[in-house]
Amino acid sequence: MSDTPSAAHPAHLAHHFDTVEQQRESSSLWMLVFLSQEVMFFGGLFLAYLVYRSSYPAAFAEASHHLDVVLGGINTVILIASSLTMALAVYCAQTGKRNLLVMFLLATMLLGLAFLGIKAVEYHHKYVDKLIPGVAFSYPGPNAQHAQLFFSLYFAMTGMHALHMVIGFGLLIWLVNDARKGRFTPEYHSHIEIFGLYWHFVDIVWIFLFPLLYLIGLHGVPGGGH
């Protein structure tokens, strides 16, 4: 078999794949395998949260009051909207709409940036309120030590999530650049597709973080101290 591109074996098809479709399914599959280990990575953090929350339910519910539900809720909507624009970007890549693809990728970037901006404002509030675990931690209520555990988990979980967002943002810059040059065609757009999978995964993590961290203290917990 020669390496010269032909109709049966176009240039964007790596030589170890038989068909373009096989190549596409393979790249999506391995992205999902990567995301599976990400599930286990975040699973460990969720497990730590679950263990400590079941040990100190009252302290956790009380500490949760110090998070801003409105900002967290806005961020949830922003992130789901960015998942939607990303899904539309994948659709545009599949149908070869280059300008729309660039537009939806930029919209995804913008929404991601808005999410990180709001997250930064929230972190700043925690800093002003001295709720960052460490020597400067000062908690107004009882169960200060257990509340510090809650905030340690809060920063670990949202921090790792925000790091994934920053990485995703960096990758988007690269994708927008390539999309503008017209590198992606209906036949070859695996980069867009597997980045979409990654972005949706980050969205899913937040879908679980939001109710677990922000919403647990909203309804009265027996002995919650409020």
Q: Does 105 bind another protein (CB under 8 A)?
A: no
- Name the residue nearer to another protein (CB basis): 176 or 202: 202
- Name the residue nearer to another protein (CB basis): 27 or 143: 27
Residue 20 CA to residue 113 CA, distance in Å, equals 34
* Residue 65 to residues 77, 86, 136, 215, 221, Cα–Cα distance (Å): 20, 32, 20, 8, 12
Give burial (CB, 10 Å; 0-12/13-18/19+) of 149: buried
- Phi, psi (rounded to 5 degrees) for 187: -85, -30
Q: Does 19 bind another protein (CB under 8 A)?
A: no
Residue among 181, 211, 201, 184 at smallest CA distance from 82? 201
Site string for another protein, 32-71 (x = CB under 8 A): xx-xx--xx--xx-xx--xx--xx-------------xx-
Interface with another protein (CB under 8 A): 25, 28-29, 32-33, 35-36, 39-40, 43-44, 46-47, 50-51, 54-55, 69-70, 73, 76-77, 80-81, 83-84, 86-87, 90, 196-197, 200-201, 203-204, 207-208, 210-212, 215-216, 218-219
